[in-house]
């Protein structure tokens, strides 16, 4: 392991994606390793929002069909642009709602308890919002979630075993909802195998791709996944509260969505204003109401950058960044009580490094005070996400040096070991 600064600089010189950093507003004073919570603003996203404001100013109501990006078709158009990132056909993807409302929509559409099959299978490590949504969907159908929501346990508190998940795919399970990449440990679940095993047992399966979209390639259509949903403000850099996305396998087209609204309509029928819904023939049917145009627009610019860089190259650089980070942590920080808690194999880890330390909360505060933005995950986790489109190997090197100095000097001791409001 070469721990020298010049090696980091060499890696940056060799980096094919290095020019993308100029596309973003990156501060020179900080090292931003939190792009998996909120991606940075790109100049193109900013430009797209300026164009939207201009269309509103100039065209008013006609902005729906005129201007730079006619609003009426934007959710579909952005769905087409997102499709390659999830490995789907363009008509299987739509940009709409939020992660949690899309999960509600998809469970309302695909959870059809029948006979013995009444249960929903999830896991005990998923993000709380997903679990709350599943419990409330069970309640709406008249089921007691303490009996009908099964959560696959984790042996180590950080990861899940494919075999444990499969062992829980029992006869009474109607639907499975799991993350593609776990938000804490960054573990990638084997979506292909899990889908195959679920289908063998006549169970529908969907994935939450919040931490996998924009960070790893997917092949949802080939894997035959039934549905998926994700946010766009993390790896996709869509901005705070940007509009989310969903995927529905084309096998399921032609049904009314569980939660309907006039934007579920076939576009040519929508303004007939009939009280009988003719749903769109594709994933567009899973929209509900008027798209949140002010928060969908940044994606026009943000997704262009993904098209130009390509997810294969993004993933390749991401693995090199995180690998370099883990090697430096091991070489430089082994005596300070840090434990790398994400899976080590490339095929099993997403785009962030997850380290555990008893003093994690205040080490994060000390890092922030020293200009490195990590994020803390209770009770003792530090997530560090070097983002391929805008972070550099030199920043990874610098971060490890800063961390070492914080530990050597005990700088973290001046902070309380407690999380902030937004951790
Ligand atoms: C970020 C995240 C969410 C957030 O849901 P919102 O509806 O966008 O607030 C949900 N699930 C997972 C797994 C996440 O990582």
Q: Are the C-beta atoms of residues 248 and 227 closer than 8 Å to each other? A: yes
CA nearest ligand 1 atom 3, residue: 99
Domain for residue 42, yes or no? no
CATH code at position 283: 3.40.640.10
Report which ligand 1 atom has the smallest distance to the Cα of 99.
Answer: 7
191 vs 319: CA distance, rounded Å: 19
Q: Which residues fall in the annotated binding site for pyridoxal 5'-phosphate?
A: 99-100, 127-130, 208, 211, 233, 262, 290
Do residues 260 and 149 share a domain? yes
CA nearest ligand 1 atom 15, residue: 210
Do residues 149 and 275 share a domain? yes
Specify the pLDDT at position 125: 97
Do residues 230 and 320 share a domain? no
Domain for residue 301, yes or no? yes
Q: What are phi and psi of 140, to 5 degrees?
A: -60, -30
CA distances from 15 to 11, 215, 326, 399 (A): 6, 17, 19, 19
Do residues 301 and 326 share a domain? no
Best mutation site among 104, 206, 210, 385 for ligand 1 pocket (most ligand atoms within 8 Å of CB)? 210
Residues of the chain with pLDDT below 70 are 423
Domain for residue 165, yes or no? yes
Please count the structural domains in the chain: 2
53 vs 294: CA distance, rounded Å: 9
Q: What are phi and psi of 411, to 5 degrees?
A: -55, -30
Q: Which residues is 122 bridged to in the sheet?
A: 151
Do residues 258 and 328 share a domain? no
Query: Which H helix or E strand runs over 5?
Result: helix 5-14
Domain for residue 41, yes or no? no
- HSE-CB of 386 using CA atoms within 13 angstroms: 24
CA nearest ligand 1 atom 13, residue: 127
102 vs 217: CA distance, rounded Å: 21
Share of the chain above pLDDT 90, in %: 96
CA nearest ligand 1 atom 6, residue: 99
| Domain stop point among 308, 334, 369 | 308
- Residue 130 Cα to ligand 1 midpoint, Å, equals 7
Do residues 287 and 199 share a domain? yes
Specify the pLDDT at position 68: 87
CA nearest ligand 1 atom 8, residue: 99
Q: Which residues is 123 bridged to in the sheet?
A: 152
How many Cβ atoms are within 10 Å of 174's Cβ, its own excluded?
Answer: 20
134 vs 369: CA distance, rounded Å: 38
Report which ligand 1 atom has the smallest distance to the Cα of 37.
Answer: 1
Domain for residue 409, yes or no? yes
**What domain range includes position 157?**
47-308
| Of 313, 314, 292, 325, the residue nearest 397 (C-alpha) | 325
Strands in 381-384's sheet, in edge-to-edge order, are 339-340, 353-356, 381-384, 375-377
Domain for residue 162, yes or no? yes
Is 0.75 topped by the overall pTM? yes
Do residues 121 and 244 share a domain? yes
Do residues 212 and 340 share a domain? no
Query: Strand pairing of 245-248 and 227-230?
Result: antiparallel
Specify the pLDDT at position 420: 79
Domain for residue 135, yes or no? yes
| CB-defined site of ligand 1, < 6 Å | 98-100, 127, 129-130, 179, 183, 208, 210-211, 231
| Domain stop point among 288, 308, 328 | 308
- Residue 281 Cα to ligand 1 midpoint, Å, equals 27
Do residues 19 and 153 share a domain? no
Q: Are the C-beta atoms of residues 311 and 235 closer than 8 Å to each other? A: no
- Residue 140 Cα to ligand 1 midpoint, Å, equals 21
First-last CA distance in the chain: 33
Report which ligand 1 atom has the smallest distance to the Cα of 234.
Answer: 1
| Of 137, 121, 119, 233, the residue nearest 179 (C-alpha) | 121
Domain for residue 40, yes or no? no
Q: What are phi and psi of 375, to 5 degrees?
A: -140, 150
């Amino acid at each position: 392991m070469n721990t020298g600064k010049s090696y980091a600089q060499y890696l940056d010189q060799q980096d094919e994606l290095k020019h993308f950093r100029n596309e973003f507003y990156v501060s020179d004073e900080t090292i931003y390793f939190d792009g998996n919570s909120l991606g940075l603003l790109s100049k193109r996203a900013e430009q797209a929002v300026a164009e939207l404001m201009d269309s509103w100013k100039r065209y008013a109501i006609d902005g729906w069909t005129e201007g730079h990006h006619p609003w009426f078709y934007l959710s579909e158009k952005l769905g087409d642009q997102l499709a390659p990132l999830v490995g789907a056909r363009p008509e299987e993807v739509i940009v709409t709602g939020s992660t949690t409302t899309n999960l509600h929509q998809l469970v309302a559409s695909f959870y059809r308890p029948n006979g013995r099959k009444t249960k929903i299978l999830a896991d005990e490590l998923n993000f709380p919002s997903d679990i709350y949504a599943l419990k409330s969907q069970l309640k709406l159908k008249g089921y007691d979630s303490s009996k009908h929501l099964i959560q696959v346990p984790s042996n180590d508190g950080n990861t899940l075993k494919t075999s444990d998940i499969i062992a829980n795919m029992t006869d009474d399970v109607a639907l499975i909802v799991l993350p593609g990449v776990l938000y804490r440990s960054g573990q990638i679940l084997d979506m292909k195998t899990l889908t195959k095993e679920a289908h063998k047992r006549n169970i529908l399966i969907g994935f939450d791709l919040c931490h996998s979209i924009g960070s790893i390639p997917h092949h949802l259509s080939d894997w035959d996944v039934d549905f998926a949903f994700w946010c766009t403000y993390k790896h996709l850099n869509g901005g705070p509260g940007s509009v989310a996305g969903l995927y529905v396998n084309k096998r399921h087209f032609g049904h009314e969505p569980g939660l309907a609204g006039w934007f579920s309509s076939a576009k040519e029928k929508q303004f007939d204003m009939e009280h009988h819904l003719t749903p769109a023939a594709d994933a567009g049917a899973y929209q509900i109401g008027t798209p949140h145009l002010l928060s969908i627009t940044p994606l026009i610019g943000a997704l262009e950058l993904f098209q130009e860089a390509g997810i294969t190259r993004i993933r390749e650089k991401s693995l090199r960044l995180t690998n370099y980070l883990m090697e430096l942590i091991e070489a430089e920080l082994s005596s300070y009580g840090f434990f790398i808690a994400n899976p080590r194999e490339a095929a099993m880890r997403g785009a962030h490094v997850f380290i555990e330390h008893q003093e994690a909360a205040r080490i994060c505060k000390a890092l922030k005070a020293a200009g490195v933005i990590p994020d803390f995950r209770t009770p003792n986790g530090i997530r560090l996400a070097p983002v391929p489109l805008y972070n550099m190997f030199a920043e990874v090197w610098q971060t490890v040096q800063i961390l070492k100095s914080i530990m050597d000097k005990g700088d973290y001791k001046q902070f309380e070991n407690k999380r902030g409001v937004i951790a």
